[in-house]
Amino acid sequence: MTDDVLATTAAKPQLDGVTGEYASKNELKKRTLKRAKKTATEAARAGKAAAQDGPSPVPVKEKSTTDLPVDRDAIFKQGFLAEVYGLRPSADVVTRFPPEPNGFLHIGHAKAIAINFGFAKHHGGKTILRFDDTNPDAKKEEYFDSIQDNIRWLNFRPHAITYTSDNFGKLYGLAEKLIELGRAYVCHCSKDETQKQRGGCDGKEGRRYRCEHAEQDIATNIAKLRDMRDGKYAPKEAFLRMK
Ligand SMILES: [Zn+2]
């Protein structure tokens, strides 16, 4: 009985851990010896190569990045943001984060939030969350809520929440003022035409030039802007452009 068990065990194929195959005990023993020999040869070769390259360097103990102290305010203490503050140091820093509530924020917004809110926080100031909600087609209640959730999740609190649409009258008044100063005009060019005027793709395809609308007089521009306000143009039929 005992002999039978031994015989069965010996004949039973065994798993080769390297190839994942099953092989007889003898075959496995052969393979193991062959591999050991190969490893020894490779090690000897590597040792020879290292000897030719000179003495082996003193091993450097690598420091884990988790051991390094982290200064979360470092970006405000050095580099560009420190220089910006240095230009006009103020005890009353106010920044704004102005998202368009036309969709959910993406990972790139985290940078804008961290800089706008972080900069003010670092200097003891405040940040205003200003929803740029002047496009009535795209805005949705859930976007307003989600944006505020994201800001809270990043551990920031807006000092106040404002809506650009609340200032629409003021913005319209400023647009008329720009026309009166000769700095803006109403244009009817298409998107393609406008891009051509700006020098084509990336401004590198041709010279920049102004369209005929830029030559309109102030009275014409004011009349057209009022028509825009009063809804006399279809969408994308008229634009206010800066000179
Ligand atoms: Zn034009």
User: How many angstroms is it from 165 CA to the middle of ligand 1?
Assistant: 27
Pairwise pLDDT comparison (229 vs 59), residue with the higher score: 229
What distance in Å separates the CA atoms of residue 143 and residue 201, rounded to the nearest whole number? 32
User: How many angstroms is it from 239 CA to the middle of ligand 1?
Assistant: 9
What distance in Å separates the CA atoms of residue 150 and residue 145, rounded to the nearest whole number? 9
User: How many angstroms is it from 219 CA to the middle of ligand 1?
Assistant: 17
User: How many angstroms is it from 230 CA to the middle of ligand 1?
Assistant: 20
What distance in Å separates the CA atoms of residue 217 and residue 185, rounded to the nearest whole number? 9
In the 8-state DSSP scheme, what is residue 168? H
What distance in Å separates the CA atoms of residue 23 and residue 29, rounded to the nearest whole number? 10
The domain 74-168 is placed in CATH, from the list 3.40.50.1370, 3.40.50.620, 3.40.50.300, 3.40.190.10, at 3.40.50.620
How far are the Cα atoms of 101, 165, 227, 236 from residue 132, in angstroms, in the given order? 7, 7, 23, 19
User: How many angstroms is it from 102 CA to the middle of ligand 1?
Assistant: 28
User: How many angstroms is it from 185 CA to the middle of ligand 1?
Assistant: 9
Using DSSP's 3-state secondary structure scheme, residue 86 falls into helix
- What number is the average pLDDT over the span 200-229? 94
**pLDDT at res. 29:** 78
- Do residues 95 and 120 lie in contact, with contact meaning Cβ atoms separated by under 8 Å? yes
Q: What is the pLDDT of residues 14-44, one digit of tens each?
A: 777 777 777 777 777 777 778 777 777 777 7
What distance in Å separates the CA atoms of residue 171 and residue 222, rounded to the nearest whole number? 14
User: Is residue 110 over pLDDT 60?
Assistant: yes
How far are the Cα atoms of 73, 99, 106, 117, 143 from residue 146, in angstroms, in the given order? 26, 12, 11, 17, 5
- Do residues 186 and 216 lie in contact, with contact meaning Cβ atoms separated by under 8 Å? yes
- What number is the average pLDDT over the span 100-110? 94
**pLDDT at res. 34:** 80
Pairwise pLDDT comparison (63 vs 225), residue with the higher score: 225
User: Is residue 12 over pLDDT 70?
Assistant: no
Pairwise pLDDT comparison (129 vs 18), residue with the higher score: 129
What distance in Å separates the CA atoms of residue 178 and residue 241, rounded to the nearest whole number? 10
User: How many angstroms is it from 100 CA to the middle of ligand 1?
Assistant: 27
pTM value is: 0.56
User: Is residue 3 over pLDDT 60?
Assistant: no
**pLDDT at res. 28:** 73
Structure tokens at 239: 């634009």
Q: Domain locations in the chain?
A: 74-168, 182-242
**pLDDT at res. 10:** 44
CB under 8 Å to 100, separation ≥6 — which residues? Answer: 131, 132, 133, 135, 138, 139
User: How many angstroms is it from 177 CA to the middle of ligand 1?
Assistant: 20
**pLDDT at res. 201:** 86
User: How many angstroms is it from 190 CA to the middle of ligand 1?
Assistant: 8
User: Is residue 48 over pLDDT 80?
Assistant: no
**pLDDT at res. 222:** 98
User: How many angstroms is it from 138 CA to the middle of ligand 1?
Assistant: 26
Pairwise pLDDT comparison (162 vs 56), residue with the higher score: 162
What distance in Å separates the CA atoms of residue 166 and residue 61, rounded to the nearest whole number? 60
What distance in Å separates the CA atoms of residue 224 and residue 32, rounded to the nearest whole number? 89
* Residue whose C-alpha is closest to residue 26's, from 8, 38, 40, 14: 14
**pLDDT at res. 19:** 72
Helix or strand run (H / E) with residue 228: helix 218-229
* Residue whose C-alpha is closest to residue 98's, from 153, 47, 163, 156: 163
Q: What is the pLDDT of residues 168-208, one digit of tens each?
A: 899 999 999 999 999 999 999 999 999 999 999 888 889 99
Task: Kindly give the interhelix angle for 218-229 and 168-180, rounded to the nearest 10 degrees.
Answer: 160
- What number is the average pLDDT over the span 209-224? 96
User: How many angstroms is it from 210 CA to the middle of ligand 1?
Assistant: 8
User: Is residue 126 over pLDDT 80?
Assistant: yes
